[in-house]
A and B are shown apart, each in its own frame.
Chain A
Amino acid sequence: EAGVAQSPRYKIIEKRQSVAFWCNPISGHATLYWYQQILGQGPKLLIQFQNNGVVDDSQLPKDRFSAERLKGVDSTLKIQPAKLEDSAVYLCASSLPFLRDSTEAFFGQGTRLTVV
């Protein structure tokens, strides 16, 4: 079974530029998450999708961040314009949509963003 795919792995941009990250979840996983992880901290949820609908985007800075999930499969996360404090690892995760005891989350390798 293929895992969660993310690209790019690394990105360096100047502040005020824009950047986009891509995620392809595990086949059949209707739930997709984007997390931001700042160095030394735990991951913070930015947005959660169920198929192509948004379940929770309460912590997404909507003035600069946007996300979409195309046809309920792949997803892109965009930052425009970037700020220095956006430097972090951006993690994509997916899981089955059923809230059962055994439902597990699977993570991609992440995209490390550095804003200079």
Chain B
Amino acid sequence: KQEVTQIPAALSVPEGENLVLNCSFTDSAIYNLQWFRQDPGKGLTSLLLIQSSQREQTSGRLNASLDKSSGRSTLYIAASQPGDSATYLCAGRYNFNKFYFGSGTKLNVKP
């Protein structure tokens, strides 16, 4: 059974700090992994998609890595801003086009 875990569940940092969010998955037969951002009560906005053949992807201040052998992905946010405050979710894509989500990390960036 595919399980996706995110640690920590919540994180509070001062503005300007660099931070790392963690995502681990039990099944390495992953096609890709997506990182999403979710604002309170809203839908999911895709941030980055890492294909199974890739090791990392970058978009602006965000960098995501994928290590299939260890079953881990990380999302690195550089120079955090209050506007980055949201819940960050990772989801692994598997056979039969299925997604399995972690429970998310709630980030609070303090001004």
Size bracket of the A interface: 20 to 34
Residues of A within 8 A of B (CB): 4, 6, 31, 33, 35, 40-45, 48, 50, 55-56, 89, 91, 93, 95, 97, 99-110, 112
Closest chain-B Cβ to A93's Cβ sits at a distance in Å of: 8
Does any Cβ of A come within 8 Å of B97's Cβ?
yes
Decide: A107 near B97, CB < 8 A? Known: A42-B102, A101-B31, A102-B51. Answer: no
Contact A91 B98 (CB under 8 A): no
Does any Cβ of A come within 8 Å of B69's Cβ?
no
| B54 proximity list for chain A (CB < 8 A) | 101
In the complex, A105→B94 CA distance in Å?
Answer: 12
In the complex, A4→B43 CA distance in Å?
Answer: 10
Contact A101 B53 (CB under 8 A): yes
Contact B51 A101 (CB under 8 A): yes
Residue of B nearest to A43 (CB): B101
Does any Cβ of A come within 8 Å of B76's Cβ?
no
Contact B46 A100 (CB under 8 A): no
